[in-house]
Structure formats: C-alpha cells, structure tokens
C-alpha cells in the first residue's frame, strides 16, 4: 500500500484539515510556504495522467473548499500537481499541493534553456 493510502487509512498520522467521503486534505510534512496543504483522492490514482474528468471536477470543488476553510480564497494561493520523473513526483498517489499564506515567488523551474523547445 502506498504512503498516501496509509494516510487515508489512518495507519500513518497526518494533520488533517478537511475530509469527506472521497477526499482528504492534510498539512505537508515539509512545507514550502506558510500554508502548504496536500489534497488527495481517497481512492488510489497514480498521478494526474490517470485522473478523469469526473474526479477532477470533484477535486476542484474540494480544493476550493480547502482554500475557504484556511481563509486563503481571497488572498490567493497556488495549486500544483507534479507528474512523473520530470515533474518531480515523489509520492505515486495523485496529490495537489495547495500553497498560500504569503506572496509566492515564480521563477526558475529547471536548469535547461527555457527557450529550448522553440
Ligand atoms: P511530490 O514531490 O509532488 O510527490 O510531493 C510529495 C509531498 O509529500 C512532499 O511535499 C512531501 O513533503 C510530502 N510528504 C511526504 N510524506 C508525508 C507525510 N507523511 N505527511 C505529509 N506530507 C508528506
């Protein structure tokens, strides 16, 4: 069973913010912003590559509920999902990083030439 499935099953403790029948939100153990929350489906889905429209629709609503719950819906926030090796995905269970609580930087994603594809 994967790490986040164990968190869903409460075999591994987490600091839960919001939970319903299908989704769970908890604080990231290694925060990259004053608020760094992970939102996951309870069913195991490997990554965004395998997420269908129905799941994504419900996931969007759940993420909006998180933002409102922790009061960053008005101040703003960022939603990120890393996919696969180049995306930097370390846990192979679909998750969305919800980052906020301060003005976030926007910058350097790789050492490759950003114009390299053109
Ligand atoms: P990613 O690199 O997109 O796969 O993100 C995985 C995230 O999971 C990282 O930001 C980790 O800090 C976080 N993480 C790993 N283990 C735990 C845990 N037990 N509880 C909460 N967050 C975790």
pLDDT at 80: 98
Q: How far away, in angstroms, is 118 Cα from ligand 1 center?
A: 34
In a domain, 33, yes or no: yes
Distance 116 CA to ligand 1 centre (A): 30
- CB-CB neighbours of 96 under 10 Å: 23
- Supply the range of the domain harboring residue 35: 3-84
54: pLDDT strictly greater than 80: yes
Task: Output the domain CATH number for residue 24.
Answer: 3.30.428.10
Instruction: Give the per-residue pLDDT at 114.
Output: 85
Identify whether 7 is part of a domain. yes
User: Is 94 part of a structural domain of the chain?
Assistant: no
Say yes or no to pLDDT of 65 above 80.
yes
Active site includes 95? yes
Q: Which long-range contacts (CB under 8 A, 24 or more apart) does 64-68 make?
A: 65/18, 66/17, 66/18, 66/25, 66/37, 66/39, 66/98, 67/98, 67/100
Nearest CA to ligand 1 atom 18: 29
pTM given for the model:
0.97
Instruction: Give the total number of structural domains in the chain.
Output: 1
Can you point out the beta strands (E) in the chain? 16-19, 23-27, 35-41, 77-80, 96-100
Q: What is the pLDDT of residue 117?
A: 73
Centre of ligand 1 to C-alpha 78, Å, is: 16
- Residue 110 in contact with ligand 1 by CB distance below 6 A: no
Ligand 1 pocket residue status of 85, Cβ below 6 Å: no
Predicted pLDDT at 81? 98
Q: Does residue 30 line the site of ligand 1, with CB under 6 A? A: yes
Instruction: Give the position, in ligand 1's atom list, of the atom nearest the Cα of 87.
Output: 3
Whether residue 17 lies inside any domain: the answer is: yes
What does pLDDT average to over the chain?
97
Flag the least confident range among 1-5, 37-41, 111-115: 111-115
Write out pLDDT tens, residues 73-99. 999 999 999 999 999 999 999 999 999
Q: What local confidence, expressed as pLDDT, does residue 10 receive? A: 97
Q: Is residue 102 part of a domain?
A: no
- Judge whether 109 lies within some domain: no
């Amino acid at each position: 069973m994967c790490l986040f499935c164990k968190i869903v099953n409460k075999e591994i403790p987490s600091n839960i913010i919001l939970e319903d029948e299908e989704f769970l939100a908890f604080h990231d153990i290694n925060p990259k912003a004053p608020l760094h929350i992970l939102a996951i489906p309870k069913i195991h889905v490997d990554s965004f590559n395998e997420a269908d429209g129905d799941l994504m629709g419900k996931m969007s609503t759940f993420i909006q509920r998180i933002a409102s719950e922790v009061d960053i819906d008005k101040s703003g926030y960022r939603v990120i999902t890393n996919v696969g090796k180049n995306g930097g995905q370390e846990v192979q269970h679909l998750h969305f990083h919800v980052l906020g609580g301060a003005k976030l930087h926007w910058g350097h994603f790789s050492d490759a030439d950003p114009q390299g594809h053109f």
